[in-house]
């Protein structure tokens, strides 16, 4: 279906039932469900392509992902089946081992598997005195994961939780409530002693959220290993961008409209309800439903025009809510040869049937250094040895390569937006490449044909993320059920017809699609 230009939209503005602002994957999921239900939907996206940070793009002849390529929860939500995304080109490869892990202090490399028994074999080999602890951890945590995944994929409510609890015979509830009040480091130290086991779990938990592992209320971040036993780590063939591409195809197959290179300047209200949006060129598009898949600060403070009196407390709340800085950077490179890891038990890897380069390598500092790295963000500083997530996505998915070279990706965490000296002329990303080179055999630096770095500053200018930060719901299932913030946990606002979806809403950031699905179901029920 061809894109509609502004003139056509202006003439037919009244035909739309719903407008979705923002073509990130949650906005697209929401729009796809509405379109499938027969709603006349238009998605308005500021960038030239949909997907936001879940997209992929061409760089120097290869395909690179804007963010990490590992998708853990998207296939647990039912979105793929509901929207028949496979028929629209979305196919996944399973990544198993789910990750390799090492640390800056202890540079041994150990694999983690989806299958619990295989992981226990590895734990026996690397951490013989931690086997009982890992068994206890898995026994306590896996029921919590199963419960959370089911709760996240439907509109949260006390009734939905009770039904799920009954279905699970109460398994995981007590643990979920107890861990929700603890820090992730506290939870993990109940089971493990080795930093080589604890550090990587924290790096892919609270560190990815941009918080210290000692922060109370981050306890569910300790579920990272358990989550990988319950759900499968997958990578879309062709890159992460195949998720938004398939969603766009789904929308358009149901007569929905996707407009790119188009920016919203205002959300229009009439008395107590929404009536549409205004574009930057003055064009108005009318619809009784508007869904913002963008951050709440922009929604309520930048775009909302003439809010009714009932919405003013919400506006003032968000005016008083600080907008945090981004903390993640990503290097993409085309390399001419594959790196070879030092300190790796190659015989063990062969016995396990593992290609070390097919999985994401988690390189972690100690727990204390992770906490120190978090504190350094406010000072514009970065750890000497930052947490890194490193992968070569073209090893598992050759379609991302040019047929000769490999795609290399390195994410560095706790890298502040307000970096001392600024990012423009800084050599810090080059230092990360040199630090990674310490983990592999000589020749890696020479193999880099071309590379770039996306910093928080780049995410602000290129992806419209204020200060390079995507606001993420961090309250967890308990906060969702208490419903202290209905706009984030129930996707509704005091303005009739105005809804929210996206990373700022339950269940939060990551390629889930659950927020978009839940928001659409809320709209269709109302």
- Report yes or no on 476 lying in a domain: yes
275 phi/psi in degrees, rounded to 5: -125, 0
Q: Within this chain, do residues 367 and 477 fall inside the same structural domain, yes or no?
A: no
Range of the domain at 17: 6-56+239-321+472-525
Q: Within this chain, do residues 16 and 158 fall inside the same structural domain, yes or no?
A: no
Our count of domains for the chain comes to 2
Q: Within this chain, do residues 232 and 364 fall inside the same structural domain, yes or no?
A: yes
Q: Within this chain, do residues 370 and 393 fall inside the same structural domain, yes or no?
A: yes
326 phi/psi in degrees, rounded to 5: -70, 160
Distances from the Cα of 363 to the Cα of 57, 70, 221, 368, 388, angstroms: 26, 16, 17, 15, 5
What was the pLDDT predicted at 164?
63
Q: Within this chain, do residues 361 and 277 fall inside the same structural domain, yes or no?
A: no
- Report yes or no on 69 lying in a domain: no
Q: Within this chain, do residues 104 and 225 fall inside the same structural domain, yes or no?
A: yes
Nearest to 291 by CA among 473, 78, 520: 520
CA angle at residue 118 from 117 to 121, to 5 degrees?
90
- Report yes or no on 308 lying in a domain: yes
For residue 289, list its beta bridge partners.
Answer: 18
**Which of 416, 448, 466 marks a domain boundary?**
466
What was the pLDDT predicted at 356?
94
- Report yes or no on 62 lying in a domain: no
- The tens place of each residue's pLDDT in the chain, 526 residues long, gives 334 444 445 434 447 999 999 999 999 999 999 999 999 999 999 999 999 999 999 999 999 999 988 999 999 999 999 999 999 999 999 999 999 999 999 999 999 999 999 999 999 999 999 999 999 999 999 999 998 998 888 887 767 666 766 666 667 888 988 999 999 999 999 999 999 999 999 999 999 989 999 999 999 999 999 999 999 999 999 999 999 999 999 999 999 999 999 999 999 999 999 999 999 999 999 999 999 999 999 999 999 988 999 999 999 999 999 888 999 999 999 999 999 999 999 999 999 999 999 999 999 999 999 999 999 999 999 999 999 999 999 999 999 999 999 999 999 999 999 999 899 877 999 999 999 999 999 999 999 999 999 999 999 999 999 999 988 887 777 777 778 789 999 999 999 999 999 999 999 989 999 999 999 999 999 8
- Report yes or no on 309 lying in a domain: yes
Query: CA 522, CA 417: separation in Å to the nearest integer?
Result: 35
Alpha helix locations (H) across 254-366?
Answer: 296-297, 312-319, 346-352
Which helix (H) or strand (E) element contains residue 73?
none
Q: Within this chain, do residues 445 and 476 fall inside the same structural domain, yes or no?
A: no
Distances from the Cα of 479 to the Cα of 158, 476, 489, 508, angstroms: 11, 6, 8, 12
Query: CA 467, CA 471: separation in Å to the nearest integer?
Result: 10
Sequence-separated contacts (24+) of 420-425 with Cβ below 8 Å: 420/379, 420/380, 420/381, 422/457, 423/455, 423/456, 423/457, 423/458, 424/457
Query: CA 285, CA 428: separation in Å to the nearest integer?
Result: 45
Q: Look up the CATH number of the domain holding residue 255.
A: 3.50.50.60
Alpha helix locations (H) across 353-427?
Answer: 367-377, 393-396
**Which of 423, 443, 466 marks a domain boundary?**
466
- Report yes or no on 66 lying in a domain: no
Q: Within this chain, do residues 337 and 417 fall inside the same structural domain, yes or no?
A: yes
Three-state DSSP at 211 gives coil
Contact by Cβ (8 Å): 44, 19: yes
Looking up tokens 């038990």 gives: 345
Look up residue 282 and give its DSSP letter: S
Query: CA 354, CA 140: separation in Å to the nearest integer?
Result: 28
Contacts with 152 (C-beta within 8 Å, 6 or more apart), sequence order:
73, 77, 477, 506, 507, 512, 514
What was the pLDDT predicted at 177?
87
What was the pLDDT predicted at 500?
98
Contacts with 60 (C-beta within 8 Å, 6 or more apart), sequence order:
334, 449, 450
Helical axes 173-180 vs 131-152, angle rounded to 10°:
90
Q: Within this chain, do residues 369 and 392 fall inside the same structural domain, yes or no?
A: yes
Q: Within this chain, do residues 521 and 396 fall inside the same structural domain, yes or no?
A: no
- Report yes or no on 78 lying in a domain: no
Helical axes 367-377 vs 195-203, angle rounded to 10°:
30
What was the pLDDT predicted at 12?
43
**Which of 429, 445, 466 marks a domain boundary?**
466
Q: Within this chain, do residues 383 and 449 fall inside the same structural domain, yes or no?
A: yes
- The pairing of strands 257-259 and 41-44 is parallel
- Report yes or no on 61 lying in a domain: no
What was the pLDDT predicted at 306?
87
Q: Within this chain, do residues 259 and 272 fall inside the same structural domain, yes or no?
A: yes
Peptide bond into 311 cis (omega under 30): no
């Amino acid at each position: 279906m061809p894109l509609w230009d502004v003139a056509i939209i202006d003439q037919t503005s009244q035909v739309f039932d719903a407008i979705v602002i923002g073509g990130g994957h949650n906005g697209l999921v929401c729009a796809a469900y509405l379109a499938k239900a027969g709603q006349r939907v238009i998605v308005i996206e500021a960038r030239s392509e949909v997907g936001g940070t879940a997209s992929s793009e061409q760089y120097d002849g290869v395909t690179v992902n804007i963010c990490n390529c590992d998708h853990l929860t998207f296939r647990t939500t039912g979105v793929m089946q509901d929207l028949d995304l496979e028929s629209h080109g979305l196919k996944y490869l399973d990544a198993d081992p789910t990750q390799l892990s090492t640390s800056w202090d202890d540079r041994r490399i150990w694999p983690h598997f989806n299958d619990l028994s295989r992981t226990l074999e590895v734990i026996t080999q690397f951490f013989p005195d931690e086997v009982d602890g890992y068994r206890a951890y898995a026994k306590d945590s896996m029921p919590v994961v199963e419960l959370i995944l089911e709760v996240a994929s439907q509109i949260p409510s006390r009734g939905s939780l009770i039904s799920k609890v009954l279905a699970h015979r109460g398994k995981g509830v007590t643990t979920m409530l107890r861990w929700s009040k603890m820090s992730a480091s506290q939870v993990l130290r109940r089971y493990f002693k080795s930093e080589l086991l604890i550090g990587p779990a924290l790096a892919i938990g609270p560190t990815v959220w941009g918080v210290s592992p000692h922060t109370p209320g981050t306890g569910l971040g300790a579920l990272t290993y358990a989550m990988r036993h319950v759900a499968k780590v997958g990578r879309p063939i062709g890159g992460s961008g195949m998720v938004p591409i398939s969603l766009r195809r789904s929308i358009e197959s149901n007569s929905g409209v996707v407009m790119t290179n188009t920016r919203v300047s205002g959300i229009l209200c009439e008395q107590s309800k929404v009536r549409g949006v205004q574009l930057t060129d003055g064009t108005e598009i009318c619809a009784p439903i508007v869904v913002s898949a963008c951050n709440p600060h922009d929604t309520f403070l930048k775009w909302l025009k003439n809010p009714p009196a009932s919405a003013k407390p919400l506006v003032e709340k968000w005016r008083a809510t600080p907008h945090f800085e981004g903390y993640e950077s990503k290097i993409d490179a085309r390399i001419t040869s594959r790196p070879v890891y030092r300190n790796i038990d190659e015989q063990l890897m062969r016995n396990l049937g593992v290609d070390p380069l097919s999985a994401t390598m988690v390189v972690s500092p100690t727990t204390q250094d992770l906490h120190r790295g978090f504190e350094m963000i406010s000072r514009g500083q970065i750890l000497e040895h930052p947490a890194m997530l490193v992968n070569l996505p073209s090893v598992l998915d050759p379609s991302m390569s040019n047929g000769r070279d490999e795609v290399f990706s390195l994410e560095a965490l706790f890298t502040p937006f307000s970096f001392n000296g600024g990012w423009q002329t800084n050599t810090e990303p080059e230092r990360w490449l040199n630090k990674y080179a310490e983990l592999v055999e000589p020749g890696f630096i020479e193999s880099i044909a071309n590379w770039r770095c996306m910093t928080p500053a780049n995410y602000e200018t290129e992806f419209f993320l204020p200060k390079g930060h995507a606001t993420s719901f961090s309250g967890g299932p308990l906060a969702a059920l208490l419903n202290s913030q209905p706009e984030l946990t129930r996707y509704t606002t005091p303005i009739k017809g105005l809804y929210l979806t996206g990373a700022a809403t339950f269940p939060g950031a990551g390629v889930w699609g659950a927020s978009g699905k839940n928001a659409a179901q809320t709209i269709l029920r109302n």
